[in-house]
Amino acid sequence: MPSERALVRKFKRGDPEALLAIYQRYRDYLLSVAMALVCDTGRTEDAVHDVFVSLGQKRREFRFRGNLKACLSVSVVNRTRDILRRQSVRAAAPLDPDAQVVSESSGPEQIAMLNEQCRRLATALGQLPEAQREVLVLRHKCGLPLREIAKVQQTGISTVHARYRYGLNTLRALMNGELDDETDR
Amino acid sequence: MKPIDKIARAISQFEVQAPPRLDERVREHVREAFANSIPAPAAHVRTRRWRLLVSSRIAQLAAAVIMVTLLLGLHLWNLLGAEVYAVEQTVEALRKIETAHAFCTDWQGRKSEIWIQPNPATGANDFICVTETERDYAVISTPHVSYYYYPGRNVVRIVRGQLITSDLDLARTIESLTQEGNRQGGSVEIGRKVTDRHGEVITIHCAGTASEFEAWIDPRTKLLLGIECVRSSNPGQFIKSWDEIRYDEPVPERLLHFQCPDDAEIQPEGWGNVDDPNCGIDVTGLSDEQACREIISRLFDAINAANLGQMRQLVPITNQWNDEQLVAAVRESVKKLWDDQMPGVPAYEIGVPSQDKACPLGVLVPCTLTDHNGRQFKVTLIVRFRQTDGRRTCVIVSTWGKTTPLSR
């Protein structure tokens, strides 16, 4: 399997297959990031689609630094934010019942249970203010440190800390102990 | 495991599988993008590059402060760094909106819905639709033709030209509000607060002598969330608050291309005939002030002489009434002034015309009327100047605001 750097080099030289290989590698992960932010299958797909098409259009301007996965995550978050801004998708948008939500866990019973858990989590995330939701997803789904999240959100580290804390507490209250019960089983 | 850790783990395990349709779509469009990749940057990319040049946060803030100071006429001591940057982005974002769908409340607490489609070149409102279910009407206004539609009565009034259905030029909202605050010698302040409806917002508070507004900006999207008019003595300010604004929703086809229902009763024009070439007087060669004096004195003379034809000539709106209705309307107006003691306008003084942004229909001319007992009242008339077949003409549109008694 070619390395990330090799794929990026080929992509910047004008090979669309290299970009498509990057897409294949990260598409599920990026869709999950977008889904956690917008809770809507169509807009989630639009966000990921637009990021890759935009990369194809502006490959000469693309600067690859550090972790490609994190870089793509931030692009998806920014694109999702644009979509929310343009379409005024407000919090608590209903989760599309056709969304194919699956879990990494094994075993059909566990999958069924965690599917439901994912749905509940997505619905609860949808009720958070966008900024708090973004911090939680960037922190726990993308693994970005809070300092990096502050850069993405163009705000101070203390604001990000506050958003993180409020977000977690609100999410905990919204989930009303559901996560505690199920994950402990 | 702590509950917080469980939430963190649940988020990290949140997974969605890509459907095959997305793969096909991305493959097709990525290949197209490579094939059609643009060699030279487009205009908006050049703008973004300028922004990238201003890459440090301090430099960005400085640029935003300069821009906001110049554009909105604010003083530097009114400005906070991050909020100013947000306001600058709001100004820019509002100029790019394609449509706005707003939910509003008027001063009587009635709810209405407004659709606005600004003209991307001029920023003026190309299409406005106001619907108010409580009062059973919709006003659909475009630069060329407008409709009052009463669905319950199935009546449509068609009007030539654009109606004044929104006192908000949405694409220039922030500039308009702050200019209003600055013009009235008041204050404009930018800040931040938490609201019940929108959570944490950036606020622009504009307080002048005649009105006071507060606009709320979403700190995340930088879009305008709503506006509240705290107080206003501006006549024609019918909306108290813009409670929610949604952007770039497509305007429903039935509104955008409104067609009168087949069985609807069509009524004659009302306001729109202010541009009727058969009405008005020729004022070529006269200054605005001379023209206003001329047409207003002719109107008062017509009222005194009960000359209905002349009134119709000078005030196009009166053409929608028959003789009986017009006489009743004049009597009603005069009765309000003189307690029905004496008809007519025995004495009057015509003031200097002035422009008011809140009244795009024409210039405002204050007049002082005196009755037989020496009591005085202030009435403001709207005079509209037009070009009719190459001549400069004017008409009286209507009164503006309330008639107010003057203390002696």
pLDDT tens across B151-177, in order?
A: 887 888 777 666 654 456 677 777 777
For the domain made up of B100-267, give the CATH fold.
outer membrane lipoprotein receptor (LolB), chain A (2.50.20)
Nearest to B33 among A27, A53, A143 (CB): A53
Assign A103 a pLDDT band (cuts: 50, 70, 90): very low
List pLDDT tens digits, range A48-86: 998 898 888 777 667 666 678 888 888 888 888 887 776
The CATH number of the structural domain formed by A1-90 is 1.10.1740.10
Q: Does B312 touch chain A (CB under 8 A)?
A: no
pLDDT at residue A94 above 50? no
Q: CB-CB: which of A55, A100, A118 is closest to B19?
A: A100
Put simply, the chain A residues between 27 and 46 with a CB less than 8 A from any chain B CB are 27-28, 31-32, 35-36, 44-45
How sure is the predictor about A97, in pLDDT bands with cuts at 50, 70 and 90? very low
Pick the residue with more confidence: A41 or B238?
A41
Start-end of CATH 1.10.1740.10 domains in chain A? 1-90
- Whether the CB-CB separation of B217 and B88 falls below 8 Å is answered with no
Strands B111-118 and B100-106: antiparallel
Contact of B244 with B112, CB cutoff 8 Å: no
State both tokens at A99. 């969304």
pLDDT of residue A179: 59
pLDDT at A93: 38
Mean pLDDT of A6-33: 86
Average pLDDT over residues B134-141: 79
For the beta carbon of residue B253, count every other beta carbon within 10 angstroms: 8
Which tokens hold the place of A24?
Answer: 């294949």
Query: What confidence tens digit (pLDDT) does each residue in B30-74 have?
Result: 888 877 654 433 333 333 333 434 444 454 445 444 554 444 554
Instruction: Give A53: exposed, middle or buried? Use CB within 10 Å, 0-12, 13-18, 19+.
Output: buried
Nearest to A16 among B34, B38, B200 (CB): B34
Name the residue with higher pLDDT: B129 or A179.
B129
**Which pLDDT score is estimated for B392?**
92
- What residues in B contact A143, CB-CB < 8 Å? 12
Sheet holding B125-132, edge to edge: B187-195, B199-207, B211-217, B224-232, B239-247, B100-106, B111-118, B125-132, B137-141, B145-150, B155-160, B265-267
The tens digit of pLDDT for each residue in A131-158 reads 899 999 999 888 888 888 888 888 888 8
Q: Is the pLDDT of residue B289 over 90?
A: yes
Comma-separated ranges of CATH 1.10.10.10 domains in chain A: 106-185
Nearest chain B residue to A132, by CA: B220
Give the model's pLDDT for residue A105.
35
User: What residues does each domain of chain B span?
Assistant: 100-267, 273-406
- Domains B100-267 and B273-406 belong to one CATH topology: no
Nearest CA distance, B97 vs chain A (angstrom): 8
Where does B273-406 sit in CATH, by number? 3.10.450
Disruptive mutation site among A22, A37, A57 for chain B (greatest number of B CBs within 10 Å): A57
Residue B298 is predicted with a pLDDT of 92
Percent with pLDDT over 90 in chain B: 9
Q: What are phi and psi of A121, to 5 degrees?
A: -65, -45
Output the pLDDT for position B376: 83
Q: What is the CA radius of gyration of chain A?
A: 17
Mean residue pLDDT of chain B comes to 75
What residues of chain B lie within 8 A of the CB of A19, using their CB?
A: 30, 34
Whether B17 has its CB under 8 Å from any CB of chain A: the answer is: yes
pLDDT value for B375 = 79
Select, from the ranges A85-89, A160-164, B345-349, the one with the highest average predicted confidence (pLDDT).
A160-164
A141–B11 CB contact, under 8 Å: yes
Q: How far apart are the first and last CA of chain B?
A: 82
Cβ distance of B3 and A136 shorter than 8 Å: no
Q: In chain A, which residues have their Cβ closer than 8 Å to the Cβ of B11?
A: 36, 121, 125, 136-137, 140-141
pLDDT at B237 over 70: no
Tell the CATH topology of A106-185. Answer: Arc Repressor Mutant, subunit A (1.10.10)
Whether residue B134 contacts residue B188, with contact meaning beta carbons closer than 8 Å, is answered with: no
Residue B125, min C-alpha distance to chain A (Å): 19
Rounded to 5°, the CA angle B203-B209-B214 comes to: 15
Higher-confidence residue of B289 and B369: namely B289
Chain B residue nearest residue A125, CA to CA: B11
CB contact under 8 A, B15 and A136: no
Buried b / exposed e along B209-244 (16+ C-beta atoms within 10 A): eebbbbbbbbbbbbbbbbbbbeebebeebbbbbbbb
pLDDT of residue B283: 93
Sort strands B265-267 and B155-160 into parallel, antiparallel or unpaired. parallel
Looking at residue A152, its pLDDT comes to: 84
User: Which chain B residues have a beta carbon less than 8 Å from that of A122?
Assistant: 14
What percentage of chain B reaches a pLDDT higher than 70? Answer: 71
Q: Would you place residue A101 in the very low, low, confident or very high pLDDT band (cuts 50, 70, 90)?
A: very low
A131 neighbors B219 (Cβ within 8 angstroms)? yes
What is the token pair recorded at A163?
């958003």
Who has greater pLDDT, B235 or A124? A124
Looking at residue B182, what is its pLDDT?
62
DSSP-derived letter for residue B354 is: B
| pTM for the structure as a whole | 0.41
Mean pLDDT for the stretch of residues B233-241: 66
Residue B129: predicted pLDDT: 83
- In 3D space, the residue among B218, B191, B221 whose CA is nearest the CA of residue B206 turns out to be B191
Among the listed residues B367, B362, B366, B364, the one whose alpha carbon sits nearest the alpha carbon of residue B385:
B362
Distance in angstroms (rounded) separating the CA atoms of residues B374 and B315? 27
CA of B144: how far to CAs of A139, B77, B93, B140, B360, in Å? 53, 44, 27, 11, 16
Is residue A160 scored above 70 in pLDDT?
yes
Contact A33, A47 (CB under 8 A): no
Which of A32, A84, A87 lies nearest to residue B16, judging by beta carbons? A32
Alpha-helical runs (H) found in B96-139: none
Instruction: For chain A, positions 160-179, list CB contacts with chain B under 8 A.
Output: 168, 171-172, 175, 177, 179
Return the SS3 of B195.
strand
- What value does the mean pLDDT take over residues B304-311? 85
At B78 the pLDDT is 47
